[in-house]
């Protein structure tokens, strides 16, 4: 009887852990903060290892299959073998190595800017529609993509989108 009760408790805990969804997972639009123009559609996932990764699904400026020609051959900690500048813009994990601090708060990883080839430290913070942070109120679900290069950091705010819309930006 004790074994059955222990098994039920373990199943309850495991089920509860899987029932808690991570709000950063899904499809997002990166937006230029100066022009408010969409720069790319991204897919954010969490691997079974617990690492958060993100890759571009489509972009309005580059055709499908474009290579990451502005990138370097190698980056410290990059999760895939091979020359990065020979990889495709779509599908390559340009966000990698982030670990969960709390629900909606991921830190300690990197993001590579495909335009410049620069790798930045990265933190991702989820803001639910209607929530406030500082003097900002979020009208829709938003990802704060915080990139840093040494002591210099800035945030970009991404908007949630659907899988269908994320795949539709190609020129």
Residue 11 pLDDT grade (very low, low, confident, very high; cuts 50, 70, 90): very low
Reported confidence tier of residue 84, pLDDT bands at 50, 70, 90: very high
6: pLDDT strictly greater than 60? no
User: What pLDDT does 33 receive?
Assistant: 87
Predicted local distance difference test score (pLDDT) of residue 9: 46
For the ranges 8-17, 54-63, 108-117, 159-168, which has the lowest average pLDDT?
Answer: 8-17
137 burial (CB, 10 Å; 0-12 / 13-18 / 19+) is exposed
**Fold of domain 22-166:** Lipocalin (2.40.128)
For the cut 50, the answer to whether the pLDDT of residue 74 exceeds it is yes
The structural domains of the chain, with segments of one domain joined by +, span 22-166
The 10s digit of each residue's pLDDT in 89-139 is: 999 999 999 999 999 999 999 999 999 999 999 999 999 999 999 999 999
6 phi and psi, to 5 degrees?
-60, -40
pLDDT at 171: 85
List % helix, strand, coil for the chain (3-state, nearest 5): 15, 45, 40
For the four alpha carbons of 93, 110, 66 and 171, in that order, the dihedral sign comes to positive
pLDDT of residue 20: 54
């Amino acid at each position: 009887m004790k074994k059955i009760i222990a098994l039920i408790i373990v199943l309850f805990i495991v089920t509860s852990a899987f029932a808690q969804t991570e709000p950063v997972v899904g499809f997002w639009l990166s937006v230029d903060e100066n022009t408010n123009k969409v720069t790319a559609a991204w897919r954010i996932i969490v691997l079974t290892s617990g690492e958060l990764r993100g890759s571009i699904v489509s972009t309005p400026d580059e055709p499908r299959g474009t290579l990451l020609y502005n990138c370097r051959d190698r980056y410290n900690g990059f999760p895939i073998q091979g020359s990065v500048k020979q990889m495709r813009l779509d599908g390559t994990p340009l966000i990698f190595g982030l670990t969960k601090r709390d629900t909606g708060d991921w830190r300690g990883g990197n993001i590579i800017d495909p335009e410049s080839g620069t790798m930045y430290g990265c933190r991702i913070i989820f803001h639910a529609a209607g929530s406030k942070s500082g003097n900002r109120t979020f009208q829709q679900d938003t990802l704060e993509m915080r990139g840093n290069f040494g002591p210099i950091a800035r945030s970009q705010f991404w908007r949630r989108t659907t899988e269908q819309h994320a795949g539709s930006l190609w020129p």
